[in-house]
Chain A
Amino acid sequence: KAGVTQTPRYLIKTRGQQVTLSCSPISGHRSVSWYQQTPGQGLQFLFEYFSETQRNKGNFPGRFSGRQFSNSRSEMNVSTLELGDSALYLCASSFSGFTEAFFGQGTRLTVV
């Protein structure tokens, strides 16, 4: 069965712009989580959605937001981009949020 699909794979944005990343989970999975991965901080939890509701949120500023659609696809938005937002953004799909999570290939965001 198809895995987790993230688009786009690469993005280059300028400081102050905003960006939207997309994630299509594994068919039948209703939980989608987002993580930021950087060399200095490792993998850090951003937020988790289940049935279109945000259930958990990590310690990130309000510039980071997300949503989930009725087909479980999810989007993540970052507004007013800063240089420090450059990272690999990973989406993870899980059946319930309490079972193993499967990751997509990530979106590499570079802010210049």
Chain B
Amino acid sequence: EDQVTQSPEALRLQEGESSSLNCSYTVSGLRGLFWYRQDPGKGPEFLFTLYSAGEEKEKERLKATLTKKESFLHITAPKPEDSATYLCAVQADTGRRALTFGSGTRLQVQP
């Protein structure tokens, strides 16, 4: 069974204080790993897809990396508007199209 574990559950940062969120996964074969951002009461917003170990993707203050067992979402010099829940999901290469999500990391960036 595919499993995704995210840590920490919650993270409070000062504006400008860089940090990383972790996503550990267990999947029979990885087709893709996805990062989403979710604001309260809204649907998840797509951020990145990573397909193979060593791959990196960047968008503004966010950078996602992937190894064979985990992914990191690095947040550089965060701003209060980066406050949200960040979700990680995996899709297995079994032909099953379902995404298996982690429980998310609630990030709060204080000014």
Of B38-46, B67-75, B76-84, the one touching chain A: B38-46
Q: Mark A39-59, 1 if CB is under 8 A from B, else 0.
A: 000111100101000011010
CA gap between A42 and B100 in the complex, in Å:
10
Contacts known (A42-B103, A98-B31); A58 close to B98, Cβ less than 8 A: yes
Contacts known (A98-B31, A98-B91); A43 close to B101, Cβ less than 8 A: yes
CA gap between A41 and B22 in the complex, in Å:
19
A105-B42 in contact (CB<8A): yes
Q: Mark B84-103, 1 if CB is under 8 A from A, else 0.
A: 00010101000011111111
Question: Which residues of chain A from 28 to 86 have a CB within 8 Å of any chain B CB?
Answer: 31, 33, 35, 42-45, 48, 50, 55-56, 58
CA gap between A103 and B45 in the complex, in Å:
7
Chain A interface: which size bin?
20 to 34
Residue in chain A with minimal CB distance to B101: A43
Inter-chain contacts of B32 with A (CB < 8 A): 98, 100
A100-B43 in contact (CB<8A): no
CA gap between A33 and B100 in the complex, in Å:
12
B43-A105 in contact (CB<8A): yes
A42-B43 in contact (CB<8A): no
Contacts known (A33-B98, A56-B97, A106-B43); A100 close to B104, Cβ less than 8 A: no
Inter-chain contacts of B49 with A (CB < 8 A): 99-100
A106-B46 in contact (CB<8A): no
B43-A103 in contact (CB<8A): yes
Inter-chain contacts of A103 with B (CB < 8 A): 36, 43-46
Contacts known (A43-B87, A90-B44, A106-B43); A97 close to B102, Cβ less than 8 A: no
* B34 in contact (CB, < 8 A): yes
* A104 in contact (CB, < 8 A): yes
CA gap between A48 and B41 in the complex, in Å:
23
> Which listed residue (B43, B87, B89, B97) contacts A48, Cβ 8 A?
B97
